[in-house]
Amino acid sequence: MTHHTKLKHLFTPMTIKTMELKNRIAMAPMGTLMAAEDGNPSERLTHYYELRAKGGAGLIMVEDAAAHVSTAFGMGEIGVAAMYDDKFIPGWTKFNERIHAAGAKTSIQIWHPGRQSPAMGPDKPPIAPSVLPCPCPTCQDLPHEMSIAEIEEMIEAFAQAARRVKESGFDAVEIGGAHGYLVAQFMSAYSNRRTDKYGGDLRSRMRFALQIVSSARAEVGPDFPIIFRFSADEVVLGGRNLDESLTIAPWLVAAGVDCLHVSMGVYANVNTVTVAPSYVPKGYILRAAQEIKKAVSIPVMAVGKLNDPLVAEEAVAQGRADLVAIGRGFFADPDWAKKAAAGDLEDIRWCTGCLQGCIHTLMTAYTTKCQVNPEVGREQTMAIVRTDKPKRVLVIGGGPAGMEAAKVAAMRGHQVTLYEKEAELGGQFRLASVPQGKQEILPYLKYQARQLDKYKVKVVLGKEAGASTLAEPKPDVVVVASGGKPKVPDIPGIRGQNVVTAQDVLAFKAVTGKKVLVAGGGMVGCETAHLLTSYGRDVTIVEMLPELAGDMVPGPRYYVLQSLAEHKVNVITSASILGITPDGATYSRDGKTDTIGGMNTIVLALGATPSDELAKQLEGKVSQVHVIGDAQNPTNAMEAIAAGAQVGRAI
């Protein structure tokens, strides 16, 4: 029986000026690059927001929309929403009709990236308050310093964009003054080196933002809600801190802001602060929001890892924020708010804080993905359709790929049995949750297990499936998701008594001695070393590539490498292991052979090889066999879950 939790504060109505919200939950504005090429809302974008509106969000906050024509492709990307011309009003009007019909109020963020965008050509540099490039690796082009005339033109562009927002039927406008974008660049000594009326002291640096607010207010009239999003602490040397933010908050209110949306960070720390990975605690911005709330009398919205409904509820109940913005929580589960309202928290598909799809894929491949929700941005094409020919489906392996395949096949009406040789579901993903900072994987695994139960998948644990498993009842389809097994290369000494695998260490099937050599410095090796240091082990990592954790995305990688440095882990890179000795290893580096000794235990983290023997045994015995996940080709959890989702739909 599920324990239902009542979240009464989170589901209390509230008003911001003329906007009446049915609850205190906003979907945070997160860039998706799903708009049409010309900046209009595409069907894909509309459907994506519509699902989250149907999923119970009180306010849908649409992502950053270009306020000025120079932002149209200012990010060097196609798919950025736009509001810089009246031609966008009809498209956004239709968008609003659909979101309103789905039960939510709407706002859209008007914004300009400033220096946080690449040059669009030799004569099209990014624009900024000062000639100071962004430290972020993806946008270090030298910006053009805006003249007074260009600043005045930009202020007017924001004001006209605000007018269009109102005319398009939105219920509020949000001015994007957070995360080191153009408005934030003017506000901060970190990025503003001007000495004219738009720079120097704090009041002068605030002039641009305050003029945008008052000009927008003049355009939208006295009653239309203006939300201002800003980073209460930029968390960079020379950036704006909470003390300065407490000073400017009342100025923004006086200029015409009706709600302050409190975030943190700039592009230089986008992967570690602004979009915080699993290593950062839940509700990490709440303390700042609470302080800002004390300084003003208007509603304050908090954001930042509030996807646990209990944390969100307490934030509102304790008066730390008036409403909460949930970003990745809605990414992972469009029905987050509806499930929270029902008190059915175990039925929420949890964000794991991996940053693989929502940030890394967005910034490197200009497309939106989610590790745990393969449907993000593909909701229309991936709708689950009931089958009219139910089959008997056998899934072998209860890791991320197998669980997703079994769940989807069962949701479609197939009769599904899942075999997992271990005593618990989760496979390598369960082991991935063991190192400190990775615990957010566990609620997701619990959710998946619950779905298997809900859709009547027969789960057999602690039993290895073999060709004999096919006898009763004979399956029509077999999905082999048996995962990968640790790669053990054929080198001298590798079968020695002192050698264990990282998987055995993470499963607590092997205990290491005091001095440990980890062979392999990819994600698994580094996270295993990270775990071992917490048990007081002296760790050395040997990695063949020039740097550690090259297969990790930047945010999680930063926290793991920081921990390894703090624990003084000895690192040997660009080194290939030639053999294992009774107390260490020999390795080759720069053409020279060297030896490392004094080690009690060698831990192998040299990658994985497919565990697909079963697929070979099944050839000719079953009409349809699918091999997915690591059993096909060792990869990451995001790809494994996506493969499971695809196969479940294809059966």
User: How far is 606 from 485, CA to CA, in rounded Å?
Assistant: 11
Question: CA of 55: how far to CAs of 151, 203, 280, in Å?
Answer: 40, 42, 27
The verdict on 570 and 641 lying in the same domain is no
Q: Do 499 and 600 touch, CB atoms closer than 8 A?
A: no
Question: 405 lies in which domain range?
Answer: 392-486+610-650
The verdict on 471 and 455 lying in the same domain is yes
Query: What is the CATH classification number for the domain harbouring 430?
Result: 3.40.50.720
Query: What is the CATH classification number for the domain harbouring 574?
Result: 3.50.50.60
**Residue 500: what pLDDT?**
96
The verdict on 106 and 139 lying in the same domain is yes
**Residue 117: what pLDDT?**
87
The answer as to whether 373 is a domain residue is no
Helix 89-101 and helix 43-54: axis angle, to 10°? 30
User: How far is 53 from 50, CA to CA, in rounded Å?
Assistant: 5
The verdict on 346 and 418 lying in the same domain is no
The verdict on 40 and 153 lying in the same domain is yes
Assess whether pLDDT exceeds 70 at residue 598.
yes
The verdict on 85 and 160 lying in the same domain is yes
* pLDDT, mean of residues 174-183: 97
**Residue 119: what pLDDT?**
83
The answer as to whether 378 is a domain residue is no
| DSSP string for 130-186 | SS---SSTT--PPPEEPPHHHHHHHHHHHHHHHHHHHHTT-SEEEEEE-TTSHHHHH
The verdict on 49 and 150 lying in the same domain is yes
The verdict on 49 and 78 lying in the same domain is yes
The verdict on 424 and 463 lying in the same domain is yes
Give the whole-number percent of the chain exceeding pLDDT 90.
84
User: How far is 589 from 604, CA to CA, in rounded Å?
Assistant: 19
Assess whether pLDDT exceeds 50 at residue 257.
yes
Q: Do 286 and 325 touch, CB atoms closer than 8 A?
A: no
* pLDDT, mean of residues 192-204: 97
Does the annotation mark 181 as catalytic? Answer: yes
**Residue 613: what pLDDT?**
80
Q: Do 179 and 267 touch, CB atoms closer than 8 A?
A: yes
| Boundary-marking domain end, from 365, 384, 419 | 365
The answer as to whether 63 is a domain residue is yes
Amino acid identity of residue 72, one-letter, is: A
The answer as to whether 240 is a domain residue is yes
Query: What is the CATH classification number for the domain harbouring 88?
Result: 3.20.20.70
The answer as to whether 564 is a domain residue is yes
* pLDDT, mean of residues 371-381: 93
**Residue 1: what pLDDT?**
36
Q: Which stretch of 146-150, 220-224, 355-359, 468-472 has the lowest confidence by average pLDDT?
A: 468-472
The answer as to whether 329 is a domain residue is yes
Assess whether pLDDT exceeds 90 at residue 543.
yes
Total domains in the fold of the chain = 3
DSSP 523: H
The verdict on 413 and 462 lying in the same domain is yes
Predicted confidence (pLDDT) per residue in 200-235, tens digit = 999 999 999 999 999 999 999 999 999 999 999 999
The answer as to whether 491 is a domain residue is no
Predicted confidence (pLDDT) per residue in 393-426, tens digit = 999 999 999 999 999 999 999 999 999 999 999 9
Of the residues 49, 181, 267, 559, only one is catalytic, namely 181
The verdict on 37 and 129 lying in the same domain is yes
Please tell me the pTM assigned to this model: 0.95
**Residue 372: what pLDDT?**
95
The verdict on 53 and 146 lying in the same domain is yes
The answer as to whether 568 is a domain residue is yes
pLDDT bin (cut points 50, 70, 90) of residue 74 is very low
* pLDDT, mean of residues 52-69: 96
Q: Considering the chain, what is the average pLDDT of its residues?
A: 93
